């Protein structure tokens, strides 16, 4: 694949195409080839291989000359101050996380997830992977692909969910591993299946609101107190400390598995978010010339 991409770029370099045109060619022609490779070969690709792929793309964009703009900036979307040049490493991670998302779905997703789920027995990956790694029971030996998906999920979880380390998209059955003798079935009978259903944008819902919303019996008061106390250990027992939505786009798709969304794009955008809010050097220079700071919306 590396040789094929290098040959394609060499052939296209002979054609007079604008800088923006070369970037568009990457997105429309080369990127689909890479994504097919990442999805069709579920193996751990060496970082050096991915960086070599990125180098080939960069040389094509700049026609073999020294880059005049930092790659980290160009990789950002237009809204983030960049121009959307594909980041090969992030797209590889996004492809693996898309596969991880299939394991997290309840009920089970594609047929291959059922085969991998057998290696997690006596646990279910759609439950156990939602737990923070420090609270997760020891898992049995996993095949290479399952280990890869688990590793990528553990490493990138904080970038994919809005509240960490406990995600509000967690199924209620996760609490069975945290609260002794907790029975989630008493809640699922009333269609309460996710932690996010205990919250609104202001914070943890009072018991009276849950009664009105889900018609739960008063006998669940003790169970409600257990859930609130457990979540309070993670700073989620009262008001939320952030103004972010309860669920990230990734979590929303996990809770609505039948909703058709471009999961690779969702994961890719979230992985780039960590640098999207960065104040770039060119922005500081412009603000210095203007004599004032500009809010992100204006940029």
Span 115-141, pLDDT tens digits: 888 888 888 888 888 888 888 888 888
φ and ψ at 216, to 5 degrees? -85, 150
Measured distance CA(51)–CA(49) in Å, rounded: 5
Query: Dihedral, CA atoms, 90, 95, 96, 98, nearest 10 degrees?
Result: 120
Ramachandran area for residue 163 (φ above 0: left; ψ -120 to 50: alpha; else beta): beta
Q: Is 284 helix (H, G, I), strand (E, B) or coil?
A: helix
Of the pLDDT bands very low, low, confident and very high (cuts 50, 70, 90), residue 290 is: confident
- pLDDT of res. 275: 54
pTM of the full predicted structure?
0.84
Burial zone of 228 (CB within 10 Å; 0-12 exposed, 13-18 middle, 19+ buried): middle
Would you give the distance in Å from CA 252 to the centre of its chain? 11
* DSSP assignment string, 86-120: --HHHHHHHHHHHHHHHHH-SS--SHHHHHHHGGG
Measured distance CA(186)–CA(192) in Å, rounded: 9
Would you give the distance in Å from CA 233 to the centre of its chain? 24
Mean pLDDT computed over 68-76: 77
- pLDDT of res. 235: 81
* DSSP assignment string, 40-65: H--S---HHHHHHHHHHHHHHHTTTS
Of the pLDDT bands very low, low, confident and very high (cuts 50, 70, 90), residue 278 is: low
Sequence length of the chain is: 299
Tell me the C-alpha to C-alpha distance, in Å, between residue 44 and each of 61, 136, 144.
27, 23, 8
Of the pLDDT bands very low, low, confident and very high (cuts 50, 70, 90), residue 260 is: low
**Residue 11 CB coordination number (10 Å):** 9
- pLDDT of res. 108: 63
Quickly list H helices, 105-205: 111-117, 125-128, 144-160, 185-188
CB of 197 closer than 8 Å to CB of 170: no
CB of 251 closer than 8 Å to CB of 169: yes
Of the pLDDT bands very low, low, confident and very high (cuts 50, 70, 90), residue 224 is: very high
Of the pLDDT bands very low, low, confident and very high (cuts 50, 70, 90), residue 93 is: very high
Mean pLDDT computed over 53-81: 79
- pLDDT of res. 7: 73
Measured distance CA(62)–CA(235) in Å, rounded: 48
Quickly tell me which residue has 């579920």 as its tokens: 42
- pLDDT of res. 118: 86
Q: Is 194 helix (H, G, I), strand (E, B) or coil?
A: strand
Of 9-18, 192-201, 206-215, 260-269, minimum mean pLDDT range? 9-18
- pLDDT of res. 92: 92
Cis peptide before 122 (omega within 30 of 0): yes
The answer, yes or no, to whether residue 48 has pLDDT greater than 70, is: yes
Of the pLDDT bands very low, low, confident and very high (cuts 50, 70, 90), residue 258 is: low
Instruction: Compute the half-sphere exposure of residue 257: CA atoms within 13 Å on the CB side of its CA.
Output: 12
Mean pLDDT computed over 73-77: 78
Measured distance CA(159)–CA(250) in Å, rounded: 10
Mean pLDDT computed over 247-257: 83
CB proximity list for 164: less than 8 A, separation 6 or greater: 157, 158
- pLDDT of res. 187: 92
């Amino acid at each position: 694949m590396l040789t094929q991409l290098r040959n394609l770029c060499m052939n296209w370099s002979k054609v007079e195409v604008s800088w923006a045109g070369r970037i568009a060619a990457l997105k429309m022609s080369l990127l689909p080839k890479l994504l097919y490779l990442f999805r069709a070969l579920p193996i751990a690709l060496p970082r050096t291989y991915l960086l070599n792929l990125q180098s080939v793309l960069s040389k094509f964009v700049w026609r073999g000359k020294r880059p005049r703009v930092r790659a980290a900036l160009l990789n950002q979307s237009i809204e983030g101050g960049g121009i959307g040049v594909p980041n090969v490493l992030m797209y590889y991670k996004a492809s693996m996380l898309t596969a991880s998302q299939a394991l997290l779905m309840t009920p089970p997703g594609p047929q291959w997830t059922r085969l991998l789920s057998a290696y997690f027995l006596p646990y279910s990956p759609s439950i156990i992977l939602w737990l923070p790694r420090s609270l997760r029971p020891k898992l049995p030996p996993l095949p290479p692909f399952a280990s890869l998906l688990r590793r990528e999920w553990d490493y990138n979880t904080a970038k994919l969910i809005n509240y960490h380390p406990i995600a509000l998209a967690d199924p209620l059955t996760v609490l069975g591993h945290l609260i002794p003798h907790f029975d989630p079935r008493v809640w699922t009978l009333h269609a309460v299946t996710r932690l996010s259903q205990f919250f609104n944008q202001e914070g943890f819902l009072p018991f009276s609101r849950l009664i009105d919303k889900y018609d739960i019996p008063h006998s669940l008061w003790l169970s409600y107190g257990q859930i609130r106390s457990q979540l309070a250990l993670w700073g989620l027992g009262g008001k939320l400390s952030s103004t972010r939505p309860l669920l990230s786009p990734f979590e929303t798709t996990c809770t609505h598995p039948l909703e058709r969304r471009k999961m690779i794009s969702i994961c890719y955008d979230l992985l780039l978010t960590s640098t999207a809010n960065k104040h770039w050097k060119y922005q500081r220079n412009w603000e210095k010339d203007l004599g004032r700071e500009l809010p992100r919306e204006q940029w």
